[in-house]
C-alpha cells in the first residue's frame, strides 16, 4: 500500500464530497437542479479553461496548492482559477451578469431571481465549481 497515494486519494474524495454538498445545497436554495449539461458550448469553455491552465496562460490564486481542493472558474473568466475565499475577482459585474455567456447578448434579466444575495456564498449559478487533482 502506498501511503502517500492513499492520503492523496482521501483528500480528493473529501474535495469531491465538499463540491457535491455545496452544489446540492445551492440547488435547494435556488430551486434548481444539479446534473450534467449536454451543452457543447459549455464543454468548449471548459476545454478552453484546461488549455489555458496547461499552456501557462491561465492564472490562479496563491491559495491553490499541489493537493486536491475545491476551486472555481467561470465561463466568462476561463483564464482564472480561484479558491473559495478568493472568488470576488471572477464574480461578474451587474452589466456582465446580464450578458449571455454563450452569445454575448445583453438583456434586462438573464437569470430572473438567480442573482447573488448578501449573506449567501456570493456565487451565482453560472459559476462552475471544480475539484483540482494535480
Cell reading at 107: 438583456
Cell reading at 112: 430572473
- The dihedrals phi and psi of 80, each to the nearest 5 degrees, come to -120, 140
pLDDT band at residue 62, thresholds of 50, 70 and 90? very high
Residues ≥6 apart with Cβ < 8 Å to 5: none
Alpha helices in the chain (DSSP H): 3-30, 40-55, 94-97
Prediction pTM value: 0.66
| Beta bridge mates, 132 | 69
pLDDT in tens, 26-50: 888 888 888 777 788 888 888 888 8
Amino acid at each position: 500500500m502506498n501511503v502517500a497515494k492513499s492520503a492523496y486519494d482521501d483528500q480528493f474524495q473529501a474535495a469531491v464530497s465538499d463540491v457535491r454538498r455545496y452544489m446540492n445545497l445551492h440547488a435547494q436554495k435556488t430551486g434548481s437542479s444539479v446534473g450534467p449539461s449536454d451543452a457543447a458550448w459549455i464543454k468548449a469553455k471548459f476545454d478552453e479553461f484546461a488549455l489555458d491552465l496547461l499552456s501557462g496562460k491561465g492564472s490562479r490564486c496563491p491559495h491553490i496548492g499541489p493537493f486536491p481542493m475545491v476551486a472555481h472558474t467561470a465561463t466568462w473568466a476561463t483564464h482564472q482559477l480561484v479558491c473559495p475565499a478568493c472568488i470576488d475577482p471572477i464574480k461578474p459585474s451587474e452589466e456582465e451578469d446580464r450578458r449571455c455567456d454563450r452569445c454575448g447578448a445583453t438583456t434586462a434579466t438573464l437569470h430572473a431571481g438567480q442573482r447573488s444575495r448578501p449573506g449567501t456564498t456570493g456565487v451565482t449559478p453560472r459559476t462552475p465549481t471544480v475539484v483540482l487533482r494535480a
